[in-house]
Structure 1
Amino acid sequence: MSIFSFLFGNNSVQDKPIKVLSPEEFKAQIQDKDVQLIDVRTPAEFEAGHIEGAKNIDFFSGKFNVEFDKLDKEKPVYIYCKSGNRSRQTANKLAERGFKDIYDLEGGILNYK
């Protein structure tokens, strides 16, 4: 660790694998592609409406880590929730678990439509 990093921290945006995308960017990147698209809302929220092709992994589930460990850490993962809070927390957890490219929908599905 350099003295600069020690004194000022090393929280450069480029160092994080997390990218927050606008609804337009998110939609463009997942459209017509085979991506790991994850909805981290509850099953009831998911059933009430979700983005086509999304897999539901409930943020509050006790199986959250087990389900994410089944995904490919080398492939981009696109995540969203209702408003962006759970997906932001999920993105941070995934970064800690070694995922390389994490895309978070800004403002959640409420902002998507």
Structure 2
Amino acid sequence: MDFQELLAFAGRHQMLSLIFVGLTGGIILNEIFGLLRPFKGVRPSEVSVLVNRENALVVDLRPIADFDKGHIPGSKNVQMSQFDPENKKLAAARALPVVLVCKTGFTAGDAAKRLKKAGFQRVYVLEGGIGSWLQADLPLARGRG
């Protein structure tokens, strides 16, 4: 397929071409924004490594009822409404990696930005939230642990 054939295809299938350009642009923008954010997204397997090798603090920002139903073993629950980077629980972990967890990953991203502004150096967000942990078929602890 040469460039002329590609142009002819695009001319015949304008809607498909627009969708393709839009999706490609969206993917590129998503990657650029990912590089510019002040924290690093991690997969569930990477969380396990951070916890086991580097004693990372895992902070679950979900409501307490959701936390009680199932959370990453060893994680601490902090309500987003009470989230404060100067909190005693968090301030003591300034030198440790901190992994933030929420339902989908968006709330944790906001909290991660606040931690970075407060001087935390190693801030991570579980990509996909607790759902990605479940999809990876990793264990959950129940109750207030």
**Alignment TM-score > 0.5, same fold:** yes
Please list, as runs of the form range in 1=range in 2, the aligned pairs for 1:34-49 lying within 5 A after superposition.
34-49=55-70
Q: Note the residue ranges of structure 1 that are not aligned, 5 or more in a row.
A: 1-10
CA spacing shift, 1:48–1:60, aligned 2, 3 Å: same
Aligned counterpart, 1:81: 102
Q: Which has the higher helix share?
A: 2
Structure 2 contact 54–97 (Cα < 8 Å) conserved? no
Cα distance in 1, alignment partners of residues 106 and 133 from structure 2: 15
Structure 1 contact 42–60 (Cα < 8 Å) conserved? no
Structure 2 contact 41–124 (Cα < 8 Å) conserved? yes
Who wins on radius of gyration, i.e. which is larger?
2
Cα distance in 2, alignment partners of residues 30 and 84 from structure 1: 18
Q: Which has the higher strand share?
A: 1
Query: How big is each residue's C-alpha offset from its partner over 1:53-96, in whole Å with a ceiling of 9 and x where there is no partner?
Result: 000011123xx215365332121111111110111111011011
Query: How big is each residue's C-alpha offset from its partner over 1:16-48, in whole Å with a ceiling of 9 and x where there is no partner?
Result: 3x1101222223322465321110111111111
What's the TM-score once normalised by structure 2's chain length? 0.60
Percent identity, aligned pairs only? 29
C-alpha RMSD of matched pairs (Å): 2.4
1:56 and 2:106 matched? no
What's the TM-score once normalised by structure 1's chain length? 0.75
Greater RCO (Cα-Cα under 8 Å, separation 6 or more):
1
Aligned counterpart, 2:126: 105
Cα distance in 1, alignment partners of residues 34 and 41 from structure 2: 15
Cα distance in 1, alignment partners of residues 90 and 54 from structure 2: 22
Tell me the secondary structure at the aligned position of residue 60 of structure 1. helix
